[in-house]
């Protein structure tokens, strides 16, 4: 049976934890709103880039001159998995889900006899995969989304990926990140970056794009534009993934902290009841002692 | 679409910077400047570092510096994808000159070819910025 003082201390400690979790929830909510805004703002560029790329690639497609970023190296022996995790914890299943996906994916690839390399964006993903795939991790990037996700940071990663690809470090590159579906749901999504997969359906069901399905003139030439466009598209894809991941992280943290705050509240209620009961029992006991003492006289 | 106008859009990775109907835009293409009027033949071009002139009411309304990118032109629309864009009036000569000095030092110190190439490219952008400020406003 804990003493009254013990209970008081417990209640105070849970209360201060609750204060922290509710502050973190508030901060995450504010960051989430900003993250959603910037994700929204980044959409037009990505959409137009995709449209342009589709039309340029379409006209080069069968040509032998397609650059390797589009055509691939012709084999798929070495896979590079880029995982976008967070730098900080306390965000529920955000990093765990991501790491679990990458782990099963990597194991499957290794079973097939492929070589797998891992490129970690964010400290937490690295921490979770280090024990099993320590020697597969070729690079860890930290503080990418600090103070906020920026395009130059994404471009740096894309440039590094392109350079590695040129050196022949890998044949296929897949980006794995948490896609923001809603505040309550974030799904781990793989996206093949290299060789770049163009979605044909995107232009087909888009009415506006269909009307401008005219034959473009290219200046200087299709191949030149394509070689310029592809690395940039890589940067845009990475940027988009980082933005989505950042929004997911904040949403996930917000939900986790909301739960924690509620749990702390329940715990305080329970402890307070317990405290009052103990106190009453104590008073009753004292009264009985006094009364029985008086009766004995 | 408004008759006699072309829809001009300037987009950066971070946001949609500008979207308006204008009379004409002059875009600094890699192969030389080109003007876009309504009904322009569809084309896609790369852009060098330079100034985009936006015309309305017969004169230049806006001058926007871009550090390269792509332009997509259709008969009714001109979309420019730029990684870096700023209004010419907002550019500060002192800052750019400082940048130019730093970069030329970097170019002298560059250890390998790749680094040199990268610095050279940035130097060119900085020079283009200076040129954009000095350029007389032709109407």
pLDDT one-digit tens code per residue, B61-117: 888 999 888 999 988 889 999 988 888 878 888 888 888 888 888 888 877 777 788
Q: Give start and end residues of each alpha helix (H) in A1-93.
A: 4-60, 68-71
pLDDT one-digit tens code per residue, A87-99: 988 998 899 999 9
pLDDT at residue A275, rounded to an integer: 95
If pLDDT is split at 50, 70 and 90, which confidence band does A243 have? very high
Residues B17 and B78 in one domain: yes
Examine residue B29 and state whether it is found in any structural domain, yes or no: yes
Q: Which residues of A fall within a CB distance of 8 Å from B77?
A: 212
Q: For chain B, how many structural domains are there in total?
A: 2
Nearest to A38 among B11, B14, B41 (CB): B14
Do residues A21 and A261 make contact, with C-beta atoms less than 8 angstroms apart? yes
Q: Which of B51, B41, B32, B33 lies closest to B6 in space, CA to CA?
A: B41
If pLDDT is split at 50, 70 and 90, which confidence band does A209 have? very low
A4-18, A147-161, A187-201, B53-67: which is most confident: A4-18
Please answer yes or no on whether A151 and B14 come within 8 Å at the CB atom. Answer: yes
Residues B60 and B108 in one domain: no
Our CA-based measurement puts residue B42 at a distance from the nearest CA of chain A, in whole angstroms, of 5
User: Which residues, in sequence order, are CB contacts of A41 under 8 Å at separation 6+?
Assistant: B14, B15, B16
Please answer yes or no on whether B70 and A41 come within 8 Å at the CB atom. Answer: no
Examine residue B26 and state whether it is found in any structural domain, yes or no: yes
Q: Return the higher-pLDDT residue of A204 and A59.
A: A59
Can you tell me whether residue A218 is helix, strand or coil? strand
Which range marks the domain in which residue B72 is found?
A: 6-88
Please answer yes or no on whether A220 and B31 come within 8 Å at the CB atom. Answer: yes
- CATH of residue B20: 2.60.15.10
Do residues B10 and B52 make contact, with C-beta atoms less than 8 angstroms apart? yes
For residue A106, what are its two tokens?
């990597």
What's the rounded Cα separation, in Å, for the pair A82 and A167? 17
A50-54, A107-111, B84-88, B116-120: which is most confident: A107-111
Residues B49 and B82 in one domain: yes
Examine residue B78 and state whether it is found in any structural domain, yes or no: yes
User: Which residues, in sequence order, are CB contacts of A254 under 8 Å at separation 6+?
Assistant: A25, A28, A29, A32, A183
Going by DSSP bridges, is the β-strand pair B16-22/B24-29 parallel, antiparallel, or unpaired? unpaired
Residue A67 is given by DSSP the state -
Nearest to A218 among B12, B43, B75 (CB): B43
If pLDDT is split at 50, 70 and 90, which confidence band does A7 have? very high
Give the best residue of B1, B13, B114 to mutate against chain A (max A CB count within 10 A).
B13
Residues B41 and B71 in one domain: yes
Nearest to B13 among A42, A56, A212 (CB): A42
Examine residue B120 and state whether it is found in any structural domain, yes or no: yes
pLDDT at residue A204, rounded to an integer: 40
Q: A219 CB near a chain B CB, below 8 Å? A: yes
Nearest to A44 among B16, B41, B83 (CB): B16
Q: Return the higher-pLDDT residue of B50 and A13.
A: A13
If pLDDT is split at 50, 70 and 90, which confidence band does A206 have? very low
Residues B64 and B128 in one domain: no
pLDDT at residue A210, rounded to an integer: 41
Residues B67 and B15 in one domain: yes
If pLDDT is split at 50, 70 and 90, which confidence band does A261 have? very high
> Among residues 44-73 of chain A, which lie with CB inside 8 Å of chain B?
44-46, 48-49, 51-52, 55-56
Domains of chain A, first to last: 4-24+256-296 (1.10.287.80), 36-255 (3.40.1380.10)
> Does the pLDDT at position A114 exceed 80?
yes
If pLDDT is split at 50, 70 and 90, which confidence band does A63 have? low
For residue A209, what are its two tokens?
């794009």
pLDDT at residue A199, rounded to an integer: 60
Average pLDDT over residues A246-250: 93
If pLDDT is split at 50, 70 and 90, which confidence band does A65 have? low
Q: Any idea which of A70-84, A193-207, A247-261, B54-68 has the lowest mean pLDDT?
A: A193-207
Please answer yes or no on whether B44 and A44 come within 8 Å at the CB atom. Answer: no
What's the rounded Cα separation, in Å, for the pair B25 and B55? 6
Residues B37 and B15 in one domain: yes
If pLDDT is split at 50, 70 and 90, which confidence band does A201 have? very low
Q: Any idea which of A7-11, A47-51, A160-164, A202-206 has the lowest mean pLDDT?
A: A202-206
Residues B97 and B116 in one domain: yes
pLDDT at residue A214, rounded to an integer: 57
Residues B71 and B104 in one domain: no
Q: Which of A91, A116, A193, A226 is catalytic?
A: A91
Residues B64 and B20 in one domain: yes
Question: Which ipTM was obtained for this model?
Answer: 0.78
pLDDT at residue A211, rounded to an integer: 41
pLDDT at residue B137, rounded to an integer: 64
Kind plus residue range of the DSSP H or E element containing B66? strand B59-74
Can you tell me whether residue A76 is helix, strand or coil? coil
> Does the pLDDT at position A202 exceed 70?
no
Please confirm, yes or no, whether A120 is among the known catalytic residues: no
Residues B79 and B108 in one domain: no
Q: Return the higher-pLDDT residue of A74 and B81.
A: B81
């Amino acid at each position: 049976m804990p003493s009254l003082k013990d209970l008081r201390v417990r209640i105070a400690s849970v209360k201060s934890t609750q204060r922290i979790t509710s502050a973190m929830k508030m901060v995450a909510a504010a960051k989430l709103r900003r993250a959603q805004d910037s994700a929204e703002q980044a959409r037009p560029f990505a959409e137009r880039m995709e449209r342009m790329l589709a039309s340029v690639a379409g006209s080069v497609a069968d040509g032998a001159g397609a650059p390797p970023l589009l055509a691939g190296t012709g084999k798929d022996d070495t896979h590079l998995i880029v995982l976008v995790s967070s730098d900080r914890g306390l965000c529920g299943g955000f990093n765990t889900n991501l790491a679990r996906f990458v782990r099963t994916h990597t194991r499957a690839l290794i079973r097939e006899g492929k070589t797998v390399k891992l490129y970690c964006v964010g400290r937490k993903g690295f921490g979770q995969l280090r024990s099993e795939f320590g020697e597969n991790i070729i690079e860890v990037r930290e503080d990418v989304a600090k103070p906020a996700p920026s395009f130059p940071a994404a471009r740096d990663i894309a440039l590094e990926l392109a350079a590695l690809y040129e050196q022949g470090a890998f044949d296929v590159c897949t980006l794995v990140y948490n896609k923001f579906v809603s505040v309550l749901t974030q799904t781990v999504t793989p996206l093949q970056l290299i060789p770049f997969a163009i979605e044909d359906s995107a232009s087909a069901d888009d009415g506006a794009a269909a009307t401008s399905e005219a034959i473009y003139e290219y200046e200087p030439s299709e191949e030149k534009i394509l070689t310029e466009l592809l690395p940039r598209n890589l940067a845009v894809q990475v940027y988009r993934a980082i933005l989505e991941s950042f929004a997911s992280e904040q949403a996930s943290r917000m939900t986790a902290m909301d739960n924690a705050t509620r749990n702390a509240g329940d715990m305080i209620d329970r402890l307070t009841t317990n405290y009052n009961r103990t106190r009453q029992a104590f008073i009753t006991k004292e009264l009985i002692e006094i009364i029985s003492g008086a009766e004995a006289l | 679409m408004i008759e006699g106008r072309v829809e001009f859009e300037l987009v950066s990775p971070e946001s949609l910077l500008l979207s308006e109907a204008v009379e004409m835009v002059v875009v600094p293409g890699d192969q030389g400047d080109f003007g876009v009027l309504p009904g322009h033949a569809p084309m896609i071009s790369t852009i060098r570092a330079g100034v985009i002139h936006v015309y309305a009411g017969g004169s230049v309304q806006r001058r926007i510096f871009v550090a390269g990118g792509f332009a997509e032109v259709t008969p009714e629309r001109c979309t420019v994808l730029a990684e870096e864009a700023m209004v010419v009036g907002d550019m500060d000569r002192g800052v750019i000159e400082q940048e130019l000095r730093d970069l030329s030092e970097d170019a002298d110190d560059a250890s390998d070819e790749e680094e040199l190439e990268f610095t050279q490219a940035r130097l060119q952008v900085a020079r283009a910025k200076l040129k954009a400020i000095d350029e007389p406003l032709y109407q």
